[in-house]
Chain A
Amino acid sequence: ETGVTQSPTHLIKTRGQQVTLRCSSQSGHNTVSWYQQALGQGPQFIFQYYREEENGRGNFPPRFSGLQFPNYSSELNVNALELDDSALYLCASSTSSANTEAFFGQGTRLTVV
């Protein structure tokens, strides 16, 4: 059974650029949630994808968008990067859209300069 994997592990981008982060969900999981974690804070919920549809969104602007593919892998896209977007981006997969245990990937450390 493969776990949740994210790519890349580290990334440096310039303010105003766009970035795409990728996540492969754990085998048998159809739900992927994305989080942003700033230093010293808990993960902040960005959105969740369930069977290729967005299923819940946190307080993030529209320049944060996502996709889920038929194999349940997912992408997080961030446009017009700002310095405050620098954070650890976490992806978690689970077996359903609510109330089930979620397992995290190793994260992508994004630095915006």
Chain B
Amino acid sequence: QKEVEQNSGPLSVPEGAIASLNCTYSDRVSQSFFWYRQYSGKSPELIMSIYSNGDKEDGRFTAQLNKASQYVSLLIRDSQPSDSATYLCAVNTNAGKSTFGDGTTLTVKP
């Protein structure tokens, strides 16, 4: 079992729809959680960070964290074609180690 697992995708949604991306992690001592967006051939770009249970909203993006279920999700509302990318979930421990999932590729169709 991988330490951080994401839906392999690809995920395809129509423009204007809600895209839902999921991530589970195995290390219960994980403290901080991040979502990155990576366009093809580019480096990851930080979208959201979340540290405590519940929801965190930033514009069209909402991150959700449930530590009891070891589950993190990212919702993208009013999806745009420019949101088409690979979304990476990252989980950090206090030891400074960051573990990434393999990403979910999202395609938003006009």
Contact = CB atoms under 8 A, between A and B. Distances in A.
Interface stretch (B14-22, B40-48, B65-73, B75-83): B40-48
B31 A99 contact: yes
A106 B97 contact: no
Contacts of A16: none
B25 interface: no
Interface stretch (A38-46, A62-70, A71-79): A38-46
A104 B102 contact: no
Contacts of B95: 56, 98
Interface string A94-105: 000111111111
A99 B102 contact: no
A104 B45 contact: yes
Interface in B3-54: 4, 31-32, 34, 36, 42-46, 49, 51
B31 to A, nearest CB: 5
Interface in B93-108: 93-103
Contacts of A105: 43
B63 interface: no
B88 interface: yes
A90 interface: yes
B92 interface: yes
Contact of A106 (B42, B49, B88, B98): B42
Interface residues of B, number: 25
A112 to B, nearest CB: 19
Contacts of A56: 95-97
A99 B32 contact: yes
A99 B42 CA distance: 24
Interface in A78-110: 88, 90, 97-107
Given A48-B96, A56-B96, A90 B32 contact: no
B103 A42 contact: yes
A99 B30 CA distance: 9
Nearest to B101: A42
7 contacts: A42-B101, A42-B102, A43-B88, A44-B100, A97-B96, A98-B31, A104-B45
